[in-house]
Homo-oligomer: A and B are copies of this chain.
């Protein structure tokens, strides 16, 4: 299979799992609000990362699918809350009106809360022997010393401005933690040893940094139609971004350097790392 075929294979497995992920007995309009945001398409990068990491050690993906779905739920909850008027105040997401624009602010808060809860419920229902360990990894990465910590610093930096240290913290936690989680969770579930887990952490961290820097560059150089979300907002809102602190040239350089580090950390997996390697490199091409 080519890289693109492989990506589509993973993405379709995720989409199929997500179609039935929100239970039918969740009351309305909460059920619709959750589905509206969860099934809005997108690259499904986090669940694909989990499946691809898992596949480096284990071919049968079935047991990993609930965890892939849980990751997309956590990612989607963070987008819904992040888009709220009290946070980033965004009207457009994945080319469609944001959740609170369609269902109202109160229901959007609940849809986010619901997706975060459902992510843990979904993992807790798994009988996989490593389920608890994988759940623990996600709890840590998405929480108050992970993604939520990054969001706190991000929100604050809009008011006070942010220095290089704050910027590093925001990108590491707001973005890289939720790209590291899938890699580590996939490896945990597939039975990785400590060396492989360490390599996965290194890959996730560097890939995450590269991706967020690339995102910062695209927000300055792309248009809404291509990105499917509002662009140029970072600058307008005085967001703490890599391009603002370091400029476009240095941002391109750093994105390349983090990507290289990510790719190198995969060596330990021999010839099964090819997909993740290409995934990292393809993202970089968009800003070169």
Residues of B within 8 A of A156 (CB): 27, 29
Given known pairs A121-B143, A132-B131, the reply for A152 and B116 (CB within 8 Å) is no
A111 to chain B, nearest CB (A): 9
Q: Is A42 an interface residue (CB 8 A)?
A: no
Contact call B114/A148, Cβ cutoff below 8 A: yes
Identical chains bound together, number? 2
Q: Decide yes or no: A143 and B155 within 8 Å by CB, A87-B109, A109-B86, A120-B120 being known contacts.
A: no
State the interface size on chain A (CB cutoff 8 A).
Answer: 50
Instruction: Contact check, A135 vs B120: say whether CB atoms are below 8 A apart.
Output: yes
Q: Does A12 sit within 8 A of B, measured CB to CB?
A: no
Residues of chain B contacted by A121 (CB below 8 angstroms) = 136, 139-140, 143-144
Residue in B87, B106, B113, B153 whose CB lies within 8 Å of A116 = B113
CB–CB B149/A26 < 8 A: yes
Q: A107-B155, A136-B125 are contacts. A114–B144 as well, Cβ < 8 Å?
A: yes
A124 located at the interface, meaning its Cβ lies under 8 Å from any Cβ of chain B in the complex: yes
B114 touches A87 (CB 8 A): no
Chain B residues whose C-beta falls within 8 Å of the C-beta of A142 in the assembled complex: 117
CA distance A87 to B142 in the complex (A): 24
A34 on the B face (CB < 8 A) = yes
> Is B136 a contact partner of A109 (Cβ separation < 8 A)?
no
Q: Which of A221-265 contact B (CB under 8 A)?
A: none
Q: Which residues of B contact A155 (CB under 8 A)?
A: 106-107, 110
What residues on B are CB-neighbors of A109 within 8 Å? 81, 84, 86-87, 109
CB-nearest residue of chain B relative to A109? Answer: B81
Contact A152-B107, Cβ < 8 Å, known A117-B144, A135-B120, A139-B121? yes
| A30–B152 CB distance below 8 A | yes
Residue among A25, A87, A124, A136 with max Cβ neighbours from chain B (10 Å)? A124
Report yes or no: B152 in contact with A139, Cβ–Cβ below 8 A: no
Are B125 and A105 neighbours in the complex by a CB distance under 8 Å?
Answer: no
Sample (17) of A-B pairs whose CB atoms are under 8 Å apart: A27-B169, A81-B110, A84-B106, A86-B109, A87-B106, A106-B155, A110-B151, A112-B113, A114-B148, A116-B116, A117-B139, A117-B144, A117-B146, A118-B144, A120-B143, A121-B136, A132-B132
